[in-house]
Amino acid sequence: MTLAPVVTLPLLGMVAPLPGFPDYRDYVLVTADGDGLLFWLQSMDTDGPRFLAIPPARWFPDYTPSLPRQVLADLDLDDAADALLFCLVTVPAEGVAAATANLRAPVVLNPANWRAGQVVLPDGRLPIRRPLRR
């Protein structure tokens, strides 16, 4: 059996804590597979949370959210096209086949300074639970 290589991106500093996790601001993104389709957004604290995340462009090519100017300013992004986006995934009790991605509240990352933040987008057409099936 061949194991996929583990790739970890630098430390991400959240400009604001993720909703429901006020004590955690430092995270890393670690590949959960060897293909770059799944990542763990892992708190640096030993007792901190870990979230399954996806790069939405790989799963939903039509996903092109408009990022608010304030988000760009908070992350020191001059252009929204420079941002990296990750959507958090929920795997319900029914199992992986029923997994969904939250397209309404992506984690936005500036790869130049590794600042990040989760933003709730005002576009009501973006689903909170979009099935992951490809």
**CATH-assigned architecture of domain 12-126:** Roll (2.30)
pLDDT (tens digit, 9 = 90+) per residue, 79-88?
A: 999 999 999 9
5 vs 18, higher pLDDT: 18
Q: What is the pLDDT of residue 9?
A: 62
Cα–Cα distance measured from residue 86 to residue 121, given in angstroms and rounded to the nearest whole number: 13
Contact 86, 109 (CB under 8 A): yes
Instruction: Decide: 77 and 58 in contact? Cβ < 8 Å.
Output: no
Question: Whose CA is closest to 67, among 25, 24, 21, 126?
Answer: 126
pLDDT of 75 over the 80 cut: yes
Strand duo 84-90 + 107-110: pairing: antiparallel
Query: 29-68, pLDDT tens digit by residue?
Result: 999 988 889 999 999 999 999 999 999 999 999 999 999 9
Q: What is the pLDDT of residue 107?
A: 98
For residue 74, give the DSSP letter.
Answer: H
Predicted model pTM: 0.89
Contact 80, 112 (CB under 8 A): no
| Per-residue pLDDT, 5 | 53
